[in-house]
Amino acid sequence: MNFMPFEKIFRLNNGELAIPGKIYVSSEGLELFESDIHFHVINYAVNVLSYDPSRLKGFDFFLGVTHGDLLSSTKMMDLFLYRGLKKNWKSNPEVFMKRITGGFWSDLTSTFGDTFTVLHKEGELIKSSKSLDEYLAKTPLGISGIAEGC
């Protein structure tokens, strides 16, 4: 089964942020990121995630889903911060959930259903990978048509 509510997936490594991660670009509110999706999504993500690096301290990696509210013209990112896999790759990691709205961080109380599908597929990929580096280099099966950003 394939679904495509996402346009691209980008990878950010430790050179850009304190921890590596993947960012899925949702079709929802895509217009807010303007025509050069690569530049604007990466720029947005790096800016909001690096503004206070202490927020990422103690985590192994992250998954982010960018989206936007067209009515308020607000860019958002649902952020899932993983901890516990560096010590034991085959463990069941803790996942902390945040939403960044207009640069402000808050606890995530809801997200889109398609995001849960991505989290499930990414979880399967974690379990089938031998290391964090191998996992980060892959895109889950079943998310066809998504363009690799970087």
Is residue 1 domain-resident?
no
pLDDT digits (tens, 9 = 90+) for 82-132: 999 988 898 899 999 999 998 899 999 988 888 888 899 999 999 999 999
C-alpha closest to that of 149 among 2, 15, 36, 17: 36
Is residue 140 domain-resident?
yes
Read off the tokens for 21. 């991660």
Is residue 135 domain-resident?
yes
Number of domains the chain contains = 1
Put simply, whether the predicted model's pTM sits higher than 0.85 gets the answer: yes
* Domain coverage including residue 60: 6-148
Read off the tokens for 66. 């960018």
pLDDT digits (tens, 9 = 90+) for 19-53: 999 999 888 777 887 766 777 888 888 889 988 88
Is residue 24 domain-resident?
yes
Read off the tokens for 69. 């509210």
Statement: residue 1 has pLDDT above 50 = no
Q: Which residues pair with 5 in a beta bridge?
A: none
